Amino acid sequence: MSDTDSYGFDTLQIHAGARPDPATGARQTPIYQTTAYVFRDAEHAAALFNLQEVGYIYSRLTNPTVAVLQERVATLEGGVGAVCCSSGHAAQIMALFPLMQPGCNIVVSTRLYGGTVTQFSQTIKRFGWSAKFVDFDDEAAVRAAIDDDTRALFCESIANPGGYITDLDAISAISDAAGLPLIVDNTSATPYLCRPIEHGATLVVHSTTKYLTGNGTVTGGAVVDSGKFDWAASGKFPSMSEPEPAYHGMKFAETFGPLAFTFHSIAVGLRDLGMTMNPQAAHYTLMGIETLSLRMERHVENASKIAEWLEKDRRVDYVTYAGLKSSPYYGRVEKICPKGAGGLFTFAVKGGYEACVKLVDSLEIFSHVANLGDTRSLIIHSASTTHRQLTVEQQEAAGAAPNVVRISIGIEDADDLIADLDQALTKATA
Ligand SMILES: *Cc1c(COP(=O)(O)O)cnc(C)c1O
């Protein structure tokens, strides 16, 4: 599909990036289950390796099924290009890789997916990178955390675990003033609810494992480039602006302009890090994306109903859903994610740790799993699972206090979900 500007989201989520298969006319995007692609002749092969001609060489770098997904996600996010990878965590490393060098740091929000907190606070240290965790509601603290070695700001649009909403306009004003890229994890919102590039994001990362695929079948990730960042202006991003020794001295920013990040991510990132998405995973995710808007509407509708019901219930202390008028983030919904505050939030159960454990064991429709963004409703008691190594103080700071459970509302009948929560709360607080 060519003229993507004039089509609506519902059309693009089905058609963007895809065309009938030129060889067979197959209407659905085939799963190109192949590792390599035959070169027309030696000259063609050389042109591909020189990046003078765009085409397929080897599936660690590019694959036609994955390429359709890349174009689809880029289009839905309003970016110029995207690179898919093996997981959401791979996407985060792929986003940072062209920007960072040993000794560099990133300034990141304290409100992040638990696995991301570990990746940023521990694992990236092995690369000589570091992260400074800051409350992104405190703009002065964000500004103060930036130093000469900072190479990016990182936050989630709708943030874990409580469904808090980041003021992306305020944060991108800070990153712009500092001449730094802003990376936004848009997993919980999806481009249907929030388009971070319109709020100043440079790169958008996704765990496609979650809502984009939607049925909890495959892991995957994506990095979308806005194409708007000037990589040469500050001299801080030599891998993008200077001759890159890992690609025979190619100057990516000069050669590829707005597509520099995308080409770098494929030619150097995927080639050398190998965090590649396989075509089967791309197929499942393409299937999922076709119904993204329909599912997100239902996720939001159900989450709103259930959050309102829980907030009124005497067995519940508080509910963090940003779509509730009582939420301090309610005012940001219209600005940042006008179609709704997503399907993810936490609530505190009277009776504390013991009651939470009984609650998750008593639910029948909700599954007790470490996942989110499934058609199925999911629940996790973080203090006894994902956050059990932390002290109570650390759990509280992370929004995962012992009396708190996180739920990811699915697209089942809201009345059934409420009845399930009702019977389980009765058992939990008896
Ligand atoms: C799940 C998740 C990730 C990590 O993605 P994986 O696909 O599990 O590697 C990152 N960010 C957020 C917000 C997530 O929900």
Q: Per-residue pLDDT tens for 285-341?
A: 999 999 999 999 999 999 999 999 999 999 999 999 999 999 999 999 999 999 999
Q: Which of 89, 213, 382 to mutate to test the pocket of ligand 1 (most atoms within 8 A of CB)?
A: 89
Residue 402 pLDDT class (50, 70, 90 cuts):
very high
CA 224/CA 83 separation, integer angstroms? 7
- DSSP run (H or E) holding 402: none
Q: Domains along the chain?
A: 8-288 (3.40.640.10), 292-428 (3.90.1150.10)
- Ranking 3-7, 141-145, 209-213, 295-299 by mean pLDDT, the lowest is 3-7
Q: What is the pLDDT of residue 4?
A: 60
The dihedrals phi and psi of 106, each to the nearest 5 degrees, come to: -125, 145
Q: Which of 210, 345, 346 to mutate to test the pocket of ligand 1 (most atoms within 8 A of CB)?
A: 210
On whether the CB atoms of residues 83 and 70 are closer than 8 A, the answer is yes
Cβ partners under 8 Å of residue 65, min gap 6: 29, 30, 31, 32, 279, 282, 283, 286
Ligand 1: residues with CB < 6 A are 87-89, 113, 115-116, 156, 160, 185, 187-188, 207, 209-210, 219, 221, 372
Q: pTM to 2 decimals?
A: 0.96
3-state secondary structure of 57: coil
103: left (phi over 0), alpha (psi -120 to 50) or beta: left
Residue 1 pLDDT class (50, 70, 90 cuts):
low
